[in-house]
Amino acid sequence: MKIITTIAELRAHMASFKHPAFVPTMGNLHAGHLALVRQAKPLGDAVVVSVFVNRLQFLPHEDFDSYPRTWEADCRALDDAGCDVLFAPSEQELYPEPQGYKVHPPAALTDILEGHFRPGFFIGVCTVVLKLFSCVQPRVAVFGQKDYQQLMVIRRMVAQLALPIEILGGPTLRSDDGLALSSRNGYLSATERAEAVHLSLQLKQIALALRAGYSNIASLEKQAMAALAERGWQPDYVAIRRRADLQSPRIDEVTTLIQDQGLVVLGAARLGQTRLIDNLEV
């Protein structure tokens, strides 16, 4: 595995490859990230993984400074997973001057759910991803489906900007008890870790109710939020949405959407000081 820290060196090195595959990360890698690398491996003539903690997508009160940096462990894991190139630019390298030009995705898709509770988050995500695409120039890029809304935003950006990149989603990996793997799981205490599975359990209960024919979406969402709050969580949202556009479905289309596998349940909640997100396609 070759480690590259500058854009100039990356472009020079990648000039000999025709179909690179790309997996962008913020480091602190877990098995879910490595699964994306293995998914990307047969899709190109080189697999590039970036490790960059992107300041633009953190709000002032969020954990940019304390976000775990596990460089040596990340390098070993990526090498073992078959990564060919690790691109790890410094902040000065990727943002040599204040980033005045930014990507502003449509509000209808990004001012809801995550974007509602983290204003500006998707501007930061789209800006850094577009910049990384420019550096790597991949033909395919793989993103985790745990960040469901983010995956949709990136797909729409690539389509609208006519970028020659295929965007693929990688399935969410879970622990044996059902907790979605996340870099932020490391913040959880032992007690919180045991409790954390209840976010995914609430999503599963909603999915079961929908499959059983219960179509009162507002009631299902409210019950799940209340159940989490009773257990000591601080829920931001539990939402049943159309997969196509992440908008709330009309009551008269719920049954059809279930039959057509057209719904997804998304949740975000804070447990102690740790904010967790998850989703489940119905």
Residues serving a catalytic function are 33
Looking at this protein, which amino acid is placed at residue 91? E
Alpha carbon 154 to chain centroid, angstroms: 10
Are 99 and 136 contacting, i.e. CB atoms less than 8 angstroms apart? no
CA atoms within 13 A on the CB side of 103: 21
How far apart are the C-alpha atoms of 41 and 132, rounded to whole Å?
19
Are 140 and 166 contacting, i.e. CB atoms less than 8 angstroms apart? yes
Tell the burial category of 234 from Cβ atoms under 10 Å away from its Cβ (0-12, 13-18, 19+): exposed
Compute the CA torsion angle 231, 240, 220, 194 (nearest 10 deg): -20
Helix (H, G, I), strand (E, B) or coil at 230: helix
